[in-house]
Amino acid sequence: MASPLLLCLVLCSYYSIVHGGGDDSFVTVPTSSFEPNPICSEERVHRHGPCAPSPSTDKPTFADTLRRSRARLNYTANVAPTGLGSHGDVKASIPAHLGSSLNSLEYVVTVSFGTPAVSRVVVIDTGSDLSWLQCKPCNPGECTAQKDPLYDPSHSSTYSSVPCVSDPCKKLTADVYSNGCTSNGKQCGFLISYADGTSTSGVYSKDKLTLAPGVVVKNFYFGCGRDKHTVSGLYDGLLGLGRLSESLGAQYGGTVSYCLPAVSSKRGFLALGSGRNPSGFQFTPMGSVPGQPTFATVKLAGITVGGKKLNLRPSAFEGGMIGALRSAFREAMKAYRLVPNDQLDTCYDFKGHNNVVVPKISLTFTGGATINLDVPNGILVNGCLALADSGLDSTTGVLGNVNQRTFEVLFDTSSSKVGFRANAC
């Protein structure tokens, strides 16, 4: 039996949780390649890219990010509004960046809201459906600092709040996104609370969303947040890429895919729309988690470390698997000194080494799709093995954004399959 793994961007934001054939080689990499400093030039500067100045030095620590990742694994999402039109015959491709300049270790894109269009930088999240922005009016202390001014819906001629007596609001009322009605019962209220303590609430709204020049969702439903509490990040909001009907993918139509760059100096992308060329992809069946329809899952069937396939019983893919992987990785890395870490259990001190020899790790899914994790940035983060034990054999594992780096990950819901294309960004 294969083990199901969630595919997540934000919920498991900086590592993979696994409870429990690819290329059989090692790769020698310079220690400077683990996270190189961005090389800035006029053509590469982006206002929210790695070369952009940050107004704050209060960047979350790696330990903070890991604690947040573990907490948010417990988040569950439920059904929300019905689909609101399709633009799936037009493909949009949006540049994606690691949010280093926004004090975030998550991935962000820049899109525009309203008429006239106002650009906003937002986190992309496959673990939730409802998109949101921080909006005016917001009393001092009720919204978290962000890099851009708060979005002012009063300046948009295409903005409107969702009435409390409407079908979209009625569907919110029945699930975890509901916050009753506001403005004397006239406007639909929303609330999103995450297990890590972050939350946002405000008015459920619709406005024009511009994804790229000429690519527009005229009536895009999202939350206009007026009370947000978060632990880190200077981003303006969030785009929900989950599987439910109020997600960006459902409102736009067609398939959703993305490629996450390995380091902050590189650029990835978020792509939407039909007609994706399947050439170069390896596909595996897409599953789901009972009671959590937001999430897409894939089933892990085999692991190879440094060219050696782990000898695991089928039952091992339901629990205890990480122990075998960790042991094989440590054996392959025995030339380097292990050091203690409060959050992860396999961390190394590479001081004095100009180069590090890293074993390739391959994951094989049902149907035979096999991915070789990026070396070194899909395997090691801050000198630590970017996989961890969830501690619960009965819990679905998570394939986090670190292990997805440099692959285009394609969600084809019409065919119920997930595709992986190597070296896409």
248 plus 112 within the same structural domain: yes
- Total count of domains within the chain: 2
Query: One-letter amino acid identity for 81?
Result: P
Pairing of the two strands 215-229 and 132-134: parallel
Cβ of 356: how many Cβ atoms within 10 Å?
Answer: 21
Output the average pLDDT for the chain: 80
Q: Token pair of 346, please?
A: 């396999």
Single residue among 248, 272, 296 that ends a domain in this structure: 272
Q: What is the mean pLDDT of residues 343-358?
A: 93
Structure tokens at 67: 């604690």
Distance from C-alpha of 359 to C-alpha of 25, rounded to nearest angstrom: 7
Is residue 22 included in any domain, yes or no?
A: no
Q: Cα-flanking dihedrals φ and ψ of residue 71, to 5°?
A: -65, -45
Same domain, 262 and 388: no
What is the sign, positive or negative, of the torsion defined by CA atoms of 102, 260, 243, 385? Answer: negative
Give the Cα-Cα-Cα angle 120, 122, 128 (nearest 5 degrees): 140
Considering only residues 132 and 80, tell me which one the structure prediction assigns the higher pLDDT.
132
Given 272, 296, 319, the domain boundary residue is 272
Of 101, 98, 206, nearest to 109 (Cα)? 98
Same domain, 265 and 288: no
Residue 4 lies in a domain: no
Summarised one tens digit per residue, pLDDT across range 356-413 is 999 999 999 999 999 999 999 999 988 999 987 765 555 677 888 999 999 999 999 8
Residues 261, 311 within the same domain: no
**Per the domain annotation, does 82 fall within a domain?**
no
Radius of gyration of the chain (CA): 21
94 and 243 in a single domain? The answer is yes
Q: Is 90 exceeded by the pLDDT of residue 209?
A: yes
Same-domain status, 172 and 289 = no
Q: Which range of residues forms the domain containing residue 321?
A: 282-421
Same domain, 266 and 325: no
Q: What is the pLDDT of residues 277-335, one digit of tens each?
A: 888 999 999 998 887 878 888 988 999 999 999 987 766 665 567 888 999 999 999 99
> Under a CB-based contact definition with an 8 Å cutoff, are residues 21 and 304 in contact?
yes
- Cα-based torsion angle of the residue sequence 293, 297, 299, 300 in order, rounded to the nearest 10 degrees: -140
Are residue 216 and residue 363 in the same domain, yes or no?
no
Task: Answer whether residue 416 is part of any domain.
Answer: yes
Ramachandran class of 242: left when φ > 0, alpha when ψ lies in -120 to 50, beta otherwise: beta
Report if pTM > 0.85. Answer: no
Residues 144, 286, single domain; the answer is no
- Do 247 and 291 lie in one domain? The reply is no
